[in-house]
Homo-oligomer: A and B are copies of this chain.
Amino acid sequence: MISSDVIRGYNDTIILYLLLENESYGYEISKKIKELSGEKYIIKETTLYSAFNRLLKNGYIESFYKEETFGKRRTYYRITGEGRHYYKEKCREWALTKEVISRFVKEDL
């Protein structure tokens, strides 16, 4: 299991990735993260929703409601153009970060 402290700074990026193709909502995203990570990373609810607020504040996602016939009303999110741009930036940053850390963290010792 991965501690979120390690992924800190990439939770936003992970969420944006899951919104690239389809709009979605909190619970679904958290399940997808769990699933796609092979159960190795499970995002905490509070972490997830605070990430949504941050992303909204920065204009990287938009929220809206859908007409639901039943169930508690969900807040849906969709990625914005700025969000896509930010995602790409973070991807480039990640490539660099990975490269730099690998100079200090040797998996073969």
Which A residues fall within an 8 A CB radius of B?
Answer: 2-3, 5-10, 13-14, 17-18, 33, 36-38, 40-41, 87-88, 90-98, 100-101, 103-107, 109
Closest 9 CB pairs of A and B: A5-B9, A14-B104, A17-B104, A94-B105, A6-B9, A37-B100, A95-B107, A6-B97, A91-B105
Cross-chain contact B91 with A36 (CB below 8 angstroms):
no
Q: A18's closest neighbor in chain B, by CB? A: B104
In the assembled complex, the Cα of A40 lies from the Cα of B105 at a distance in Å of: 16
Query: In the complex, what's the smallest C-beta–C-beta distance from A86 to chain B, in angstroms?
Result: 12
Query: In the complex, what's the smallest C-beta–C-beta distance from A91 to chain B, in angstroms?
Result: 5
Cross-chain contact A6 with B93 (CB below 8 angstroms):
yes
In the assembled complex, the Cα of A12 lies from the Cα of B17 at a distance in Å of: 29
> Known contacts A10-B101, A17-B104, A17-B105; can you find 10 more A-B pairs with CB under 8 A?
A2-B93, A2-B97, A2-B100, A6-B8, A6-B97, A7-B100, A10-B104, A13-B105, A14-B101, A17-B106
